[in-house]
Amino acid sequence: MGVLVKWRKGCAEASRIYEDRGSGYVWLATDGEPDYLDTLAMPATAATWKYKAVYEIDGEAVGLFSDEAEVQVQAAV
Per-residue pLDDT tens digits for 28-48: 999 999 999 999 999 999 999
Q: Which amino acid makes up residue 52?
A: K
Predicted local confidence at residue 1, as pLDDT: 77
pLDDT higher than 80, residue 77: no
Judge contact between 8 and 31, C-beta under 8 A: no
pLDDT higher than 80, residue 76: no
Cis peptide before 58 (omega within 30 of 0): no
**Given 3-state DSSP classes, what are the helix, strand and coil percentages for the chain, each rounded to the nearest 5?**
0, 50, 50
Question: What pTM value is reported for the model?
Answer: 0.91
